[in-house]
Structure 1
Amino acid sequence: MTQTSMPLSIGPARSPTVRRELRGTGGLVETLFDRRRLVWQMAKREVRDRYAGQALGTLWAVAHPILLMGLYLFLFTFVFPSRVPFGGGQGSAVTYILAGLIPWLTVADAMSRGTGAIVNEAGLVKQVVFPVEILPIKSVLASGLPQGIATFVLLLYMAAVDRHVPLLAAMLPLLFLLQLMVMAGLVYVLSSVGAYVRDLREIVQVFVSAGVFVAPILYSEESIERTVPGFASLLSLNPFSHLVWCYQDALYYGRFVHPVSWLLLLLLSPAVLFLGYRVFRKLKLMFGEVL
């Protein structure tokens, strides 16, 4: 009798669907790398279009976040000085608030832009040879530029007023990269669904308007727990709270006060990008018919 040999497999087995999705995500990275100049040029064009026809033109891309930061610093320092205790940190209450507010405003802007990333470029989407995967990414990059400028202004404020910039601030590039991955995943979903549901933009606007109040940006966990017992535990259910906490650790506390949030951000950022792009790949097949 002849004995049939069984094939040996090394490593964990993956289903064909999982392998196909992983290849698709790898294809996204390859597309973005190969078309990196196009992505950058389109991101710059989106920034220019925002300020088209204005006297200062694209200079507003730098002036706007600087002026906005100046307004926030003035408001939170002199007009509405915070009496909420932000204990255990190395900076002022202004640093605490802006450390969380700056990234949240960027996420909110990216989500608002993302709903129209495909609809607003219908002419390009209908071109068969154009890589539509670029469109959500250029919106994310255009939203991220003001955050970089605003964060730089905040660091200058911390050095001048707090007279201290934590060593943990060196983690900001990593945080920004992880945040970009989260925003890219969200925008992939919003842009693809927005092509079918045009009312999505209004829904997102309501969400981002309320979002600043349901994340630990304008208050601390300790203060909200004293005011509304039990509400602080609900903050951890908001995924954006963990992003805010990581920035506050890096800029305000100067130490890992929320290690679970850092771990979640490291694990979930690639997952959000992967799942968001998976939804985009499935829905983009009908873009030409719905636009």
Structure 2
Amino acid sequence: MKSSTTINPHAAHPTSLTSLAKNLALHRELILQMTRREVLGRYKGSAMGLTWSFFNPIFMLVVYTFVFSEIFKSRWGGAAEGGGKTQFAVLLFVGMIVHGLFAEILSRAPSLIVNNINYVKKVIFPIEIMPIIAVGATLFHTLISTAVLLVAFIIFNGYLHWTVIFFPLVLLPLVILSTGLAWVLASLGVFLRDVSQFIGILITILMFLSPVFYPISAVPENFRPYIMANPLTFIIEQARAALIFGQIPDMPGLAIYTVVAIGVAGAGYAWFQKTRKGFADVL
């Protein structure tokens, strides 16, 4: 691809989900190549390289276990629900994995276009795949963290529930939702540079208003509807059911969540495609 090749940045672009599917199929090799580069680029120049992707979740799991089990003496809803120190650690880590996936995608989204101005102005490049690449790189680190979690669970308990096979299905609607929001935020980040600051605050709020550090049963009844309205709550609860408690997730609930997520993704993609005509004028 020659850098001298140019396009009209103000040209209209298709906004349908059909065009999105065609774009993803057409540029699948480019998406995989750039996702790989994104993952490797994060550790470029470090002595341990990609190994850090394994050590980071291990360190965090150890720290969370020590702080909440030894200092705060926290237990997860009593012995009947799995109140041991190690059980608390893995339950907590499941919540952190789900929140981390959502948080990383949203925090990176506002700068995706701003940090790649050349793709907007000077070369033929499908900039609509930039959020997809960010999601792919985030999923890689989520996979590593999940592997660390499963190994820890086996070490602590000596077995693994067969229901772990449902975990990808549990994450799928959140990934779709996050991608749709990433398209919206990537566009807004071009026109409103304060979006990144707002998202940073929102991510912190969502962490404490999600059942990451506590079970949903610990929330007073009058506040529970607000916690359940958090898009992370349902996914975290279903992830724990599949990974830790050996329960089959709520399939009807996941189906409804997926339909809503597809709607958000479609709207987010349409918004991005409609607003991208103004990117070149701002950047």
TM range (shorter): 0.7 to 0.9
Task: Tell me by how many angstroms 1:87 deviates.
Answer: 6.9
Q: Secondary structure at the match of 2:126?
A: coil
Say if 1:57 and 1:156 are closer, same or farther in 2 by CA, change over 3 A: closer
Q: How many Å separate the matches in 2 of 1:125 and 1:134?
A: 12
Alignment of 1:160-179 (within 5 A): 160-179=155-174
Task: Tell me by how many angstroms 1:58 deviates.
Answer: 3.4
> 2:238 is matched by which residue type in structure 1?
C
Alignment pair present for 1:235 and 2:217: no
Q: How many Å separate the matches in 1 of 2:234 and 2:88?
A: 19
Say if 1:61 and 1:221 are closer, same or farther in 2 by CA, change over 3 A: closer
Aligned to 2:75: 83
Alignment of 1:1-291 (within 5 A): 24-85=16-77, 89=81, 92-127=87-122, 129-225=124-220, 229-256=221-248, 261-291=253-283
- Bigger mean CA deviation after superposition, 85-94 or 281-290: 85-94
User: Once the two structures are superposed, what CA deviation does each residue of 1:224-256 show, in whole Å capped at 9, x if it has no partner?
Assistant: 22xxx5112321111221121221221233225
Question: What value does the CA root-mean-square deviation take over the aligned residues?
Answer: 2.4
Task: Tell me by how many angstroms 1:93 deviates.
Answer: 2.1
User: Once the two structures are superposed, what CA deviation does each residue of 1:59-101 show, in whole Å capped at 9, x if it has no partner?
Assistant: 3233333333343344444444423416764682222222222
> 1:82 is matched by which residue type in structure 2?
S
Gap runs ≥5 in structure 1: 1-20
Q: How many Å separate the matches in 1 of 2:176 and 2:30?
A: 19
Task: Tell me by how many angstroms 1:206 deviates.
Answer: 0.6
Q: How many Å separate the matches in 1 of 2:249 and 2:142?
A: 23
Task: Tell me by how many angstroms 1:163 deviates.
Answer: 3.2
User: Once the two structures are superposed, what CA deviation does each residue of 1:249-276 show, in whole Å capped at 9, x if it has no partner?
Assistant: 2123322575664243232222221121
Q: How many Å separate the matches in 1 of 2:79 and 2:183?
A: 38
Say if 1:188 and 1:123 are closer, same or farther in 2 by CA, change over 3 A: same
Structure of higher RCO (CA pairs closer than 8 Å, 6+ residues apart): 2
Q: Secondary structure at the match of 2:208?
A: coil
> 2:231 is matched by which residue type in structure 1?
P
Q: Secondary structure at the match of 2:244?
A: helix
- Bigger mean CA deviation after superposition, 132-141 or 155-164: 155-164
User: Once the two structures are superposed, what CA deviation does each residue of 1:20-68 show, in whole Å capped at 9, x if it has no partner?
Assistant: x997212212211221121112122222332233222333233333333
| TM-score of the superposed pair, with normalisation by structure 2 | 0.85
> 2:134 is matched by which residue type in structure 1?
S
- Bigger mean CA deviation after superposition, 250-259 or 35-44: 250-259
- Bigger mean CA deviation after superposition, 109-118 or 249-258: 249-258
Q: How many Å separate the matches in 2 of 1:125 and 1:234?
A: 40
Aligned to 2:4: none
> 2:170 is matched by which residue type in structure 1?
L
Aligned residues: 268
- Bigger mean CA deviation after superposition, 170-179 or 50-59: 50-59
Q: Which has the larger radius of gyration?
A: 1
Q: Secondary structure at the match of 1:212?
A: helix
Q: How many Å separate the matches in 1 of 2:56 and 2:218?
A: 32
